[in-house]
Structures are given as structure tokens and as C-alpha cells.
Amino acid sequence: MDPKNKKILIVEDDQFLREFYQELLSTEGFVVDVAADGEIANTKIHQGGFDLIMLDIMLPKKDGLQILRDYKTNPPAVENGPIVVLTNLGQDTIIKQAFDLGASGYIVKSALNPDQVLDEIHNYLKVNA
């Protein structure tokens, strides 16, 4: 799969992680956009056109579950690809809620090295290719 022209939105309030994902994916050839809080993310998600959205749950201003709720009740005019939730270990009930609200999968932030993150992203994009 050619990553060029694949647009990914990274929604993560942790600056280190956000920059890590952005660098990792940009180096791989993806077009990357970022949002550091839930309000910015909500605006970008509703503009649509992303091939993949990586959505943190714990965010300032509006959390990931609220963003998923808004997305489900008010879908954008331009469709997005899968939404993958970024989470920490032990958030099983939150992950279940995210799936119920339409998330396609999740990535446990602390559990994956960069190669594994890329593998996961390629898998989600293949499903949507």
C-alpha cells in the first residue's frame, strides 16, 4: 500500500506522543494532521476526508468518547476512514464504549514500539484501501 496521499489525523494531548506519531508517520510518507485537544479534533474530524483517525480518549475540552458520540449523531459531509482509539492499559470499559460508538479498533499506547504502531496503522488502512 502506498502511504502517499493517505491522510491521518492524530488526536493526542501529550506533546511527546503527538510529535512521536507525527514524525513516525510523516517519515513513512503519510500526510499527517494533528490536534492537541478535543475541540480542535472535533472541528477537523467534521471537516472529513481523513483515511484514518487516531483518537486519544483522555483529552482537554472534549474527550474522545464525546467526539465519537458527536461523530455518530452528526456525521461529516466528507466521510472519514476508520477511527482507532489510543488508550492505556486497563481501560477496557472505555474501549467497549468506543467500539459501541463506532471505533474500528484501538492501540494501547504503552504497549507498542514504533514498528508495531506502523504495522497496526497499515492494517487499518488496508481494510479501508
Please state which architecture CATH assigns to domain 7-128. Answer: 3-Layer(aba) Sandwich (3.40)
What is the tens place of the pLDDT at every residue in 29-71?
999 999 999 999 999 999 999 999 999 999 999 999 999 999 9
CA distance linking residue 52 with residue 4, whole number of Å: 13
Predicted confidence at residue 3, as pLDDT, reads: 64
Q: Contact, 8 vs 30, CB < 8 A?
A: yes
What mean pLDDT, rounded, does the chain reach? 91
Cell, residue 2: 502506498
Kindly report, residue by residue over 75-119, the tens digit of the pLDDT: 998 999 999 999 886 778 999 999 999 999 999 888 778 899 999
Q: What is the pLDDT of residue 39?
A: 96
Residue 69, class by beta-carbon neighbours within 10 Å (0-12 exposed, 13-18 middle, 19+ buried)? middle
CB atoms closer than 10 angstroms to residue 90? 9
Sketch the domain layout of the chain as residue ranges.
Answer: 7-128
Whether the full predicted model's pTM is greater than 0.85, yes or no, is yes
Q: Give Rg (Cα) of the chain.
A: 13
